A and B are shown apart, each in its own frame.
Chain A
Amino acid sequence: MNDMPTLAFDPADSCLNVEQLSVSYDGKAALREVSLTVPRHRVTAFIGPSGCGKSTLLRSFNRMNDLIRGVEVMGQIRLFGEDILAPEVDVTALRRRIGMVFQQPNPFPMSVFDNVAYGLRLQGLSDQRALEREVEWALRSAALWDEVKDRLEASALTLSGGQQQRLVIARAIAIRPEVLLLDEPASALDPISTLKIEELIGQLAEAYSIIVVTHNMQQAARVSDYTAFLYLGELVEFSATDDLFTRPQARQTEDYITGRYG
């Protein structure tokens, strides 16, 4: 795969640099020597069939893989030049800089307000005024404010699935991370909610570097600026989204986007 052209970005325009990253679970390789650079303030999509390693790659960025027993990570990931895989890195501080939204909407069983305020309170913000201001800002940014402003004290579990997912996004951006990781954020949602999430991703890209994992190629084509195609733990191709879908360089990419497998 090394003969494939990879994208290079100016250091000022890149947020994450991945070099020779290999991840294995109990000795079984999930990622093999992946190298790529994620651009800043852009939407980057990771696509590929199930088990290709795209979620593993995503979860390496905020070190959620640390939670899994028997995981082994080799290589380097740098966030704005800082090595984030080094053992002395404060993982909680790292996770405040790199927010994450999961496949299943997972609001806490608390009120809407407390959900969004959770991360802020963890950082020691206790002034009610400031909390209210920040929560409103986050909910507005997640295009949810108008729907929930009258029921901030209601349980978050009373929201619809699509609303819950936007609430989770609001919760993630409330602590103003630099990078936002979205792990198949719309796969559990209906088409209308999916559309809203996709619109939201476009708006958020102005302020955040966004990485979205999806197995839906149309979605990748619609929302992302750059797309990486992974297959069997290897990075097959990484280029501008338009190029990848119209002029795939690798045979495997072409087969995948034309629906021959996956």
Chain B
Amino acid sequence: MKTPSGWRSGDGALWLSTGAVTLTLLLTVTLLVLLGRVGFGHFWPEPLATFTFDPATEQTPLVAARREHGTFALADGGKEARTLLRTGNRDTAAPDFRWIANASLRSAHFDPAAIEIERRSWGPALGLLAPPEAPAANRASLAARQWARLEEALALPSQARTVSLTLYGADGSARPLPLAEVVRAWRPNAMDLGEKLSLYFSRIGAFISEPPREANTEGGIFPALFGTVLMVMLMTVVVTPIGVVAALYLHEYAPQGPLTQTLRIAVNNLAGVPSIVYGVFGLGFFVYLVGGSLDSAFFADALPAPTFGTPGLLWASLTLALLTLPVMIVATEEGLSRIPRQLREASLALGATHFETLRYVILPQALPAVLTGVILAVARGAGEVAPLMLVGVVKLAPELPLDGTFPFLHLDRQFMHLGFHIYDLAFQSPNVEAARPLVYASALLLVLMIVLLNLGAVLLRAYLRGRHRDPLG
């Protein structure tokens, strides 16, 4: 017999499938690398250069960091290479990002007295600790004195810092900088690798653990991270029991006929409804109808100020629970139908009722499938943004939905969400260049958070499966 050749040999299918997997992997790795490089590169202390420019441009010298290079098409058809400089000082010398033609750049040198200061308002301040024209020995001692004063002041709480720092521009101008405003400061040109690393990680730590400042373009994303995790957890708590019970009915109790089949198809179709539609439903049903009724029944004193009749954490969780319900039902039903008939018969033959069989034999066996449903629901729910904008997510929430005052979990509060935070930074930010790295960093954190939530469920599932694994099977 002839060995099949060409397409029929199967080599082609092998190459095709391997190629598909490779492509997927490559895309995933590219995504993570891009998000990580742009997002978390932002926290690395950039070297600050003192730039001078072609006198014809009338641009005074600047202390700035090089961000990126680009080629611009000119009106006359020519091309011009430019550099994006991050100059900071939005309060005194806006704009804080500028594209400068490479041809007009005259010189750049890295002054060890250059300093970057993260402030509570107006973004970073860039400058020099000593005037640029002074003799070198005087400069060094002045810079050291100012730095020591700064370090001493930063050890105090911000209200107790009464002194100011004198910040010099590259053009020799000087201005006072109140230290009460300073969050953190560093001299990137005078740092060794260890110092840079420690600053890098402390800035990432602050990004994860601090609330945002200045229309979300500075500071951290902790409330958004927290809101996302809390909302996903509440959603899981709601969707899991409802999904399991619904799947049990469809698979175990409902008479298997055209009606049940129609119901099943309807459930599957719900998974395809655009998420914004769920948002509209959540707003109309949960917020206005249910929330409004709750308010008039229990919180009539507070009216017309709504308590539950307004978008909030509870309604967002319920809306997402509804959105992920089809996934949960389908996964659970799949698991139920994979349980061998023999187990069911064994239980029934011992005189167990249908319910006892479900409770003691079928459900424990279906638990891994339920967890698969949870994993899928979490993956879907955590990444959803559109419906949340209608039912509870805000750009900036003054308080976390979980705190130390009774009743601790404030289901009526609005909250921040990473997905919406990314949208807000990317499209609504007043300062696009400043927000751009934060978009990538937030996106990476969102991905990491979903991975972590899923990993938890996967490990739990592996544990449950392993408990009674047949060692030979």
Contacts and interface: CB of A to CB of B under 8 A. Distances in A.
- Specify whether A and B are partners: yes
Contacts of B347: 108, 118
Residue with the highest number of chain A CB atoms closer than 10 Å, among B342, B347, B351, B364: B351
A92 B346 contact: no
A191 interface: no
B91 interface: no
B350 A175 contact: yes
Given A67-B345, A118-B360, A157 B350 contact: no
A108 B351 contact: no
Interface string A79-106: 0000000000000110110011010101
B336 to A, nearest CB: 15
A112 to B, nearest CB: 11
B352 A92 contact: yes
Interface string B341-355: 011011111111100
A110 interface: yes
B463 to A, nearest CB: 14
Given A92-B352, A119-B350, A122-B350, A157 B342 contact: no
Query: What are the 4 tightest A-B residue pairs by CB atom distance, in nearest-first order?
Result: A109-B468, A96-B351, A106-B342, A157-B470
B6 interface: no
B80 interface: no
Residue with the highest number of chain B CB atoms closer than 10 Å, among A106, A155, A172: A106
Contacts of A62: 349
A155 B350 contact: no
Contacts of B352: 92, 118-119, 122
Contact of B470 (A123, A158, A172): A158
A64 B344 CA distance: 11
B468 A110 contact: yes
Given A106-B340, A109-B365, A155-B469, 4 more contacts: A92-B353, A102-B346, A109-B343, A157-B471
Given A106-B340, A122-B356, A171 B345 contact: no
Contacts of A93: 351
A64 B345 contact: yes
A69 B256 contact: yes
Interface of B: 256, 340, 342-343, 345-353, 356, 360-361, 364-365, 467-471, 473
Interface in A42-84: 62, 64, 67, 69
A108 B350 CA distance: 12
6 contacts: A64-B349, A102-B349, A119-B351, A122-B356, A157-B468, A157-B470
Interface residues of A, number: 29
B356 A108 contact: no
A131 B343 CA distance: 22
A168 interface: yes
Contacts of A158: 470-471
A109 B349 CA distance: 16
Nearest to A123: B351
B466 to A, nearest CB: 10
A95 B468 contact: no
A95 B351 contact: yes
B342 A172 contact: no
A225 to B, nearest CB: 24
A171 B349 CA distance: 11
Given A64-B348, A67-B348, A123-B351, A155 B468 contact: yes
A99 B351 CA distance: 9
Contact of B351 (A104, A107, A156, A175): A175
A108 B471 contact: no
Contacts of A67: 345, 348
Nearest to B357: A122
Contacts of B353: 92
A95 B347 CA distance: 10
A108 B343 contact: yes
Contact of B364 (A109, A118, A123): A109
A110 B351 CA distance: 18
A109 B347 CA distance: 12
B51 to A, nearest CB: 71
A71 to B, nearest CB: 14
Contact of B342 (A92, A96, A102, A122): A102
Nearest to A121: B360
B416 to A, nearest CB: 44
A64 B345 CA distance: 8
A95 B349 contact: yes
A115 to B, nearest CB: 9
B462 to A, nearest CB: 15
Interface string A126-161: 000000000000000000000000000001111000
Nearest to A181: B349
Given A171-B350, A175-B350, A104 B342 contact: yes
A157 B473 contact: yes
A95 B350 contact: yes
A110 B365 CA distance: 10
A96 B352 CA distance: 9
A92 to B, nearest CB: 5
B146 to A, nearest CB: 71
Contact of B348 (A95, A156, A157): A95
Contacts of A156: 468
Contacts of A171: 346, 350
Contacts of B356: 122
Contacts of B468: 109-110, 155-157
A171 B467 CA distance: 21
Contacts of A119: 350-352
A99 B256 contact: no
B26 to A, nearest CB: 40
A106 B346 contact: yes
Nearest to B471: A158
Nearest to B256: A69
A172 B350 contact: yes
A123 B342 CA distance: 21
Given A104-B342, A110-B468, A92 B349 contact: no
Contacts of B469: 155, 157
A53 B473 CA distance: 32
A44 B232 CA distance: 60
B261 to A, nearest CB: 14
A69 B257 CA distance: 11
A155 B468 CA distance: 6
A100 B356 CA distance: 18
A122 B351 contact: yes
Contacts of B473: 157
A189 B26 CA distance: 49
A108 B359 CA distance: 13
